[in-house]
Amino acid sequence: MAKIQVSKELINNIANQENKQYIKQTNKIINNLVAESIMKLSEKISYVSLKNVILQPANELITGSIIDNSLFVYFLGINSPQLQLNTQRKTNFWKNFIERIKWAWQNRKTILKKRRRKRRKKKELERMEQFKFDPIKYNIYNLTEDIQYSMANFLTETSLICLYNNKLEIVGKDDFGSNTKIIIYVVCYDGVNYKYFAGRKKGFIDVNFDNRIEAVQAKINKVGNNFIKILKILNYLFYNANSYHANQIFMESVLCSVPDDLYLGDDIYKIFMKIINYISIRTLKDVKSITDNKTSIYKDNLCQNNGIGFNKMMATITNE
């Protein structure tokens, strides 16, 4: 296992990366894209309008601890009891789903990246005319597909928007800039919880952002911006050690459990080393999740078993 060369210069560079303007600009573009798409879609689909949808940042966006290769991840919550009921309904689910997949395959050329704008708009109109909205059968997968088509109207021809069940992935240099990837999970929302549909067997997984945001903000109020800097550093080191992004609930839970006094000071490298030394000698199994202070981070499903990757990162830092 290769050791990460953690130098004072590297730690300072990561901690002091200034990307607030980039985050603000990208957020603005995404919010406008979602708003325009929902407005267009609301003309045909009674389940959606600007009044019953909410776009919630879900990863590093909450704290602003974005690094160079971070994703922009959002939950697009739809407050509709009927949509939630239809999604968990078993009757004719697969039949309807397969029919829509067949239609998408037969008309796949209409969503190619380089199609002409006029042709795209024409095909979009034809598609919306063909689709008969049935409020009893319409589910979260149907809605995600329709949002994909609606968003395509507001993206340039160089952008690509891909559909994976109830997840949308968007990339486009002209629309968002180089190396920017947006992920939007389309979920149900009951006014408190974002209800992610994990499939017929698992059903809905409730995600409450309020507890998480309150816990992180309380820690920042106590220790200041050094919390964000350390989180940035660990996100960077985690990605370099594992080649995938850290689960932020896991990372934030660990850092919230670190004593406040270890964050104090002006030398971020010294602060980083103190925190790493503290974490390396303690048992993380006792750390509680910031989404539920009665549950360990190793038992919280929202942490996605991130302990293996975290331990690998720690090993690459501390091992000789």
Q: Domain of 166?
A: 20-207
Instruction: Kindly state whether residues 62 and 202 are assigned to the same domain.
Output: yes
Q: Is residue 10 a part of any domain in this protein?
A: no
Q: For residues 169-195, give the mean pLDDT.
A: 89
Which of 110-114, 173-177, 220-224, 289-293 has the highest mean predicted lDDT (pLDDT)? 220-224
Instruction: Kindly state whether residues 106 and 190 are assigned to the same domain.
Output: yes
Assess whether pLDDT exceeds 60 at residue 201: yes
Measured CA to CA, the distance from residue 253 to residue 290 in angstroms comes to 5
Nearest C-alpha neighbor of 66 from the set 250, 271, 207, 233: 233
Q: What is the mean pLDDT of the chain?
A: 84
Instruction: Kindly state whether residues 224 and 124 are assigned to the same domain.
Output: no
Q: Is residue 5 a part of any domain in this protein?
A: no
Instruction: Kindly state whether residues 77 and 29 are assigned to the same domain.
Output: yes
**Domains held by the chain: number:** 2
Q: Is residue 53 a part of any domain in this protein?
A: yes
In terms of DSSP bridges, do strands 72-78 and 181-189 run parallel, antiparallel, or are they unpaired?
A: parallel
Instruction: Kindly state whether residues 85 and 187 are assigned to the same domain.
Output: yes
- The pLDDT, as a whole number, for residue 301 is 83
Instruction: Kindly state whether residues 185 and 222 are assigned to the same domain.
Output: no
Q: Please, is 110 exposed, middle or buried when counting C-beta atoms within 10 Å of its C-beta (0-12, 13-18, 19+)? A: middle
Among 188, 207, 226, the domain boundary falls at 207
Q: Is residue 51 a part of any domain in this protein?
A: yes
pLDDT band at 1 (very low <50, low <70, confident <90, very high): very low
Alpha carbon 42 to chain centroid distance?
A: 24
pLDDT tens string 38-82:
999 888 888 888 999 999 999 988 988 888 888 899 999 999 888
Measured CA to CA, the distance from residue 80 to residue 25 in angstroms comes to 30
Instruction: Kindly state whether residues 201 and 215 are assigned to the same domain.
Output: no
**Intra-chain end-to-end CA distance of the chain, in Å:** 10
Written in H, E and C, the secondary structure of 114-135 is CCCHHHHHHHHHHHHHHCCCCC
Contacts of 43 (CB under 8 A, 6+ apart): none
Q: What is the pTM of this model?
A: 0.81
Assess whether pLDDT exceeds 50 at residue 91: no
Tokens found for residue 26: 């990208």
Instruction: Kindly state whether residues 137 and 182 are assigned to the same domain.
Output: yes
- The pLDDT, as a whole number, for residue 229 is 94
Q: Is residue 174 a part of any domain in this protein?
A: yes
Among 187, 207, 227, the domain boundary falls at 207
Q: Is residue 13 a part of any domain in this protein?
A: no
Output the CA–CA distances (angstroms, integers) from residue 58 to 105, 183, 205, 211, in the order listed: 31, 10, 15, 13
DSSP 223: H
Q: For residues 284-302, give the mean pLDDT.
A: 88
Buried b (16+ CB within 10 A) or exposed e, 170-202: bbbeebbeeebebbbbbbbbeeebbbbbeeeee
Q: What is the CATH number of the domain that holds 141?
A: 3.30.460
